[in-house]
Structure 1
Amino acid sequence: MSDYNKGLYKSWVPKPLQLLLILVFTILIMTLNPVNSGNISMMVGDLGIMPDYLMMANFASFIGMATAMPLILRVKMRFRTKEIMVTSLAVSAVLSFVIATTNVAEIIIASALIMGFFKMFMMLEFILPLMFILSPDGKRGRFYAIFYPFSIITGNVAGYYLSKLAYHTTWQYPHLLTAALCLVLIMITVIFQHNQRFARKLPFSQIDWLSMVFFAGTFLFMAYFLSFGKTLNWFQGSSIRVSFWGTLISFALLALRQLSLKRSYISFGIFTKSNVQSGLLMLLFTGVFLGASSLQSSFAVGILGYDMVTNSSLNIMMIPGVIVAGVVAFYWFKAERSLKMLVFSGFAAFFLNSVMMYFMMVPELSYISWLLPMVLKGYGLCALFIAVWFYTCDKLEMEAMLQAIGLILVFRSFVATAVFSSFLSWLQYQFQWESVQNLAVYMDGNLMSAQTALSGYKSIQLNAILAANKKVYGLICIAAIGMMIYVLQHHFGRVRFSRFRWTKARFTGALRRRKDGNVKILRERVEELEDGAGAVL
């Protein structure tokens, strides 16, 4: 028997059962989230903490996943598959139980960071086999066209049912259920997975742990800055100033540290490439629309009065759009077309979603009216995730991509979304106060009783929120037009201009022979004329 095994399961496990286990493990691992966004309102009310802590915990899980990315190959070469899975699942089970039983917000944030770190190791164990199953020829475009819709649909469906479970029980119950599922997965892993190595064993000696600390510290400081900025009035709060300077100093130390290492933790070399720069810019554009989800939630919960289950069910409406985007992307990559119009269609779908949300800012709205804008949102989200991610990582060397993929991942999943979520939330708050002041002009305390004035307070607040949301969505629509113009003028790796230049390089020999022949004929004619002229003279 060979000492190495690049598969996941023992040789006696039937192939159909292996495929089923890969699918089940992938779905369950994707649903291992330390904080479910649909349960945040219940957690805030029960724990008596600000929602900013839970927002930071959600960001911390993405930071942990990005921190683990540069270590993926080393860990896979150092440990067996069974060891990686059992350890990661055991840690996730313990931390899920800790989150369900603790009352300290800082412990939830730390648990989310560590859970995200180990979740990435588990994900890569199953993503690699899925990549070879879904795309045997190695074309990443077709794999993205299947995997991204699958992951988005899985996340939305799991979020809905976990919110429903928490609504009918308590918010702790989904975390306890997650811990129990992790223990069941450990039992399945011990029974079915082999105990062989993937390849030759490599040591951990060349991993720079200090760089990993700087990397995590940089984005944790940034997460605190973006999560608590509005609450603490940005730079008026001392902790916000500390987090801002902590972000800059940690990133500077991280960059300087890489210059002195023979094997760097991350590589900044690929960020000089045109496709990476343009891809990150388009991911930043996508963050504008993802950040607007906070406006949608405030409207659905604050104005329409939806409960957490109904609010989570809106994400289920995105599924048809996600499926359409996956099908379009699959055949788009199969035909090997340019990515320009696929990316443009994604931004156009988000633009139409923002336009519809602008006109939907009314005090009363039927539930079915959400269907079309959410389908457009699902299409735009899936199309941009597939196309922009493919374009960003296109034609990159595997070694360089593995060293820089952590930065790209944290930029897509955390930075782009968090920056605009925080900015749009602050902008909506400023517009809300402005709207309250504008509406208060028409109220005179001398002409109405105190009871009458207080009875109109709720109406003023609701109308102020609606007016503020409309202003923000209007600005997003204007920005979306600029994004679409940028996409239309971008080359996406194709040659934009061509010019025909005449060159003699290929015809030098023929032209020389032709020229020599003309000279010879001319010389003969001159000699004939000279002979004729001499005879006459």
Structure 2
Amino acid sequence: MADYNQGLYKSWVPKPVQLLLIVVFTFFILSMNPVNAGNIGMMVGDLGTMQEYLIMANFATFIGMGASIPLILRAKLRFRSKEIMVFSLAVTALLSFVIGTTNSPELIIASSFLMGFFKMLMLMEFILPLMFILTPDGKRGKFYSIFYPFSIVTGNISGYYFANLAYQTTWQYPHLLTAGLCLLLIMISLLFQHNQRFARKMPLFQIDWVSIVFFAGTFLFMSYFLSFGKTLNWFDARNIRISFWGSLISFVLLTLRQLQLKRSYISFGIFTKSNVRSGLIMLLFMGVFLGSSSLQNTFTVGILGYDMVTNASLNLMMIPGVILAGVVAYFWFKNEWPIKMFIFSGFAAFFLNSVIMYFMMVTELNYESWLLPMFLKGYGLSAIYIAVWFYILDKLEMEPMLQAIGLVLVFRSFVATAVFSSFFSWLQYQFQWESVNNLAVYLDGNLMSSQVALSGYKNIQLNAILAANKKIYGLICIASIGMMIYVIQHHFGKVRFSRLRWEEVRFNGVLRKRKTSEAKILRERAEEIKGAAGATF
């Protein structure tokens, strides 16, 4: 009989060292990003390309991660863990080197998609052991309350470190460093990981690669549409029209193909469940707040004049809020309280963050004033990620969940954020010009020289940006009230209404006694079954 090993490392590796290696690998894998948001400005200036290409590359990473999720179980049953890790790390090292040395934005987008694809394969190798180590009782809520804050904190710390490193050197250096770290991790994997299989070897058959192409095409076309829409004036540009119809046609072909396959690449069955639909609506709500990050960047860089390191340091202020949400969530799930008020607290934190940002739209601002709004933003982000993700995946079967979770992941990390980020960018442009027109009423070219008029042009633009941001934050505050009302009235799986039906039945004394006796026997048998099931688990 074949010898299987569902762990990661060889038997002679001490348990504490195994745990340390799992944490270190998880930290570095979460930190591997093909495009660091804090370095985009420097990359645009050095490459001489449009910022939208790099925004699209960032979105392509999440699309690649979503495309690989339905293949995770197949890959794990076909290849050894060491083979998956070594090959994925080698490809990631090569792609990081390509990104750090190329001048082609199209090549950066393609490399970002592939890096996201292999990043998810590597990440799942460590999520499963971490789940059993951190929550041996199998409660997913407690695991999410630890893993999601860890992943958010890791992203914030690594983002600040890479921004600082690029500021001190060049934007290429973090990518070359990532390639070197991947080679180091390959050597550690070869030394410590075992050569045994996870389970019985299964061939890579019935994988529909055409569906993967349609899936990638759907969201890559959409990312181009949302990234370049404002710049190319939406449907006035031929490329925007092509991307719109390309995304729509690819999605239709993807859907039709799943109906013809015996083993579908993506399952749409879970979207008929109430908790999945409601969870997606709440993730869309969260996209409103995450999309407002573009307004914050415009304010910090354009108005306050922060450099890339100072701007990236603001994300470090989110860490206390992220950790607090994780601690609250852990005890919340431990006590098995209803998650309604915990989700409500996350949206309330985002609402307070928007209210504070509304009043912070001024030309001069103390750096310490960011502590409270970023703390609230961190708490809201972590709380909603934990609770809504738990609610969406609650009571789902393993196979349909793996087939659909990639689509949900792309919706959460790309679609919801990109839609509102693009919308707010367009809305800010419209409001900015409206504010300029309003301010121009008070200027008279006959009463001032051209020099004086030009000297005041900068102040007019700055005040127009502030007024536009303030309008959008006001709209977000109004919308967030509706979001909180939706959360507070939602049932979250609890039965709210019941219907009592009456039947005319004649009961005599003997029949009533027999019914009572049968009910007592049923209760006793149910307790026996319940006790046996508890002992079995």
Common fold: TM-score over 0.5:
yes
CA distance, structure 1, for counterparts of residue 504 and residue 16 of structure 2: 63
Letter aligned with residue 285 of structure 1: F
- Partner in structure 2 of residue 125 of structure 1: 125
Q: Write out aligned runs for 1:99-498 (5 A).
A: 99-498=99-498
Describe the SS at the equivalent of 2:57.
helix
Q: CA deviation at 1:203?
A: 1.2
Describe the SS at the equivalent of 2:166.
helix
CA distance, structure 1, for counterparts of residue 313 and residue 212 of structure 2: 38
Q: CA deviation at 1:509?
A: 4.4
- Partner in structure 1 of residue 509 of structure 2: 510
Q: Identical aligned pairs, as a percentage?
A: 77
How far does the alpha carbon of each residue in 1:478-522 deviate from its partner, in whole angstroms, 9 at most, with x for none? 0000000000110000111345555667x83438789xxxxxxxx
- Runs of 4+ that moved beyond 3 A: 498-505, 507-514
Q: How many residues align?
A: 513
Describe the SS at the equivalent of 1:377.
helix
- Partner in structure 1 of residue 526 of structure 2: none
Whether 1:43 and 2:25 are equivalent positions in the alignment is: no
Describe the SS at the equivalent of 1:34.
coil
CA distance, structure 1, for counterparts of residue 450 and residue 512 of structure 2: 106
- Structure 1 residues 511, 430: CA separation in 2 closer, same or farther (over 3 Å shift)? farther
CA distance, structure 1, for counterparts of residue 3 and residue 228 of structure 2: 52
CA distance, structure 2, for counterparts of residue 105 and residue 449 of structure 1: 45
Letter aligned with residue 73 of structure 1: L
Q: TM-score, normalised by structure 1?
A: 0.94
Q: CA deviation at 1:441?
A: 1.1
Q: CA deviation at 1:371?
A: 0.2
- Partner in structure 1 of residue 70 of structure 2: 70
Describe the SS at the equivalent of 2:281.
helix
CA distance, structure 1, for counterparts of residue 374 and residue 474 of structure 2: 18
CA distance, structure 2, for counterparts of residue 416 and residue 270 of structure 1: 19
- Partner in structure 2 of residue 34 of structure 1: 34
Describe the SS at the equivalent of 2:62.
helix
How far does the alpha carbon of each residue in 1:181-205 deviate from its partner, in whole angstroms, 9 at most, with x for none? 0000000000000111111111112
- CA-atom RMSD in angstroms: 1.3
CA distance, structure 1, for counterparts of residue 115 and residue 327 of structure 2: 33
Letter aligned with residue 115 of structure 2: M
Letter aligned with residue 294 of structure 2: S
Letter aligned with residue 287 of structure 1: G
- Partner in structure 1 of residue 19 of structure 2: 19
Q: TM-score, normalised by structure 2?
A: 0.94
CA distance, structure 1, for counterparts of residue 348 and residue 507 of structure 2: 53
How far does the alpha carbon of each residue in 1:99-149 deviate from its partner, in whole angstroms, 9 at most, with x for none? 000000000000000000000000000000000011111110000000000
Describe the SS at the equivalent of 2:338.
coil
Letter aligned with residue 481 of structure 2: I
- Partner in structure 2 of residue 531 of structure 1: none
Q: CA deviation at 1:289?
A: 0.1
Larger radius of gyration: 1
CA distance, structure 1, for counterparts of residue 333 and residue 493 of structure 2: 15
Q: CA deviation at 1:444?
A: 1.2
- Partner in structure 2 of residue 526 of structure 1: none
Describe the SS at the equivalent of 2:495.
coil
How far does the alpha carbon of each residue in 1:359-385 deviate from its partner, in whole angstroms, 9 at most, with x for none? 000000000000000000000000000
Letter aligned with residue 226 of structure 1: L
CA distance, structure 1, for counterparts of residue 178 and residue 219 of structure 2: 27
Any gaps of 5 or more consecutive residues in structure 2?
Answer: 514-537
CA distance, structure 2, for counterparts of residue 58 and residue 504 of structure 1: 66
Describe the SS at the equivalent of 1:508.
coil
Letter aligned with residue 290 of structure 1: L
Q: CA deviation at 1:3?
A: 2.2
Any gaps of 5 or more consecutive residues in structure 1?
Answer: 515-537
